[in-house]
Amino acid sequence: MASVLYINSSVRNAGSLSRQLSSEFIAKWKAANPADTVVERDLASNPVPHLTEEMMGAFFTPAEARNAEQAHIVKVSDTLVDELVAADVVVIGAPMYNFSVPSSLKAWIDHVARVGRTFQYTANGPEGLLKGKKVYVFTASGGVYSEGAAVAFDHLTTFLRTVLGFIGLTDVQFIRAEGVAMGEQAVADTVAKGRKSIDQLIAA
């Protein structure tokens, strides 16, 4: 039995292809693995707070030395880290906003990239502590960024692959819905491609 952490970051409920395809993936995962548990976190309907100076101070204060206010401040971050640590599989819905991730997803990352919890510094440099997990990222973008002239503008997949790898999540697969602003046929084609990828991933 595995634990799946399912994170959505699209601000849209209707018409979001990152939500639609990641939701279809989760539904098929549940059907194929009925004993698995799925923990869902919607960063649009339940956003996590952006970092503040007080939060950073609490993060870098040893647990035994935190005052009552600092202990309260880190509770949200600790919960998010605990969810991630407990997961065997991570599924992220991440639409591209202005060439990168939604600010809600960046805020989540800022809470889970915690020294001593998800990475540590060693004599050989930083080491990610969340190893052995599989990550599926469902992206959606108005243009095509996987090839052609716009590749250089894709700061979503490059950022996520880097920061997830930094905390030890190196087995990351991206399922892209691209060109969704290029007409109905382009949407139909990319959704069909995404569904084919989902079927292949579930069957693997």
The rounded Cα 56 to chain-centroid distance in angstroms is 21
Residue ranges at the known binding site: 10, 16-18, 96-99
Residue ranges at the known binding site for FMN: 10, 16-18, 96-99
Task: Tell me which residue of 84, 77, 6 sits closest to 41, measured CA to CA.
Answer: 6
Beta-strand runs (E) in the chain:
3-8, 37-42, 89-95, 119-122, 125-128, 134-140, 171-177
Using alpha carbons only, how large is the chain's radius of gyration in Å?
18
Euclidean distance between CA atoms 137 and 139, whole angstroms: 6
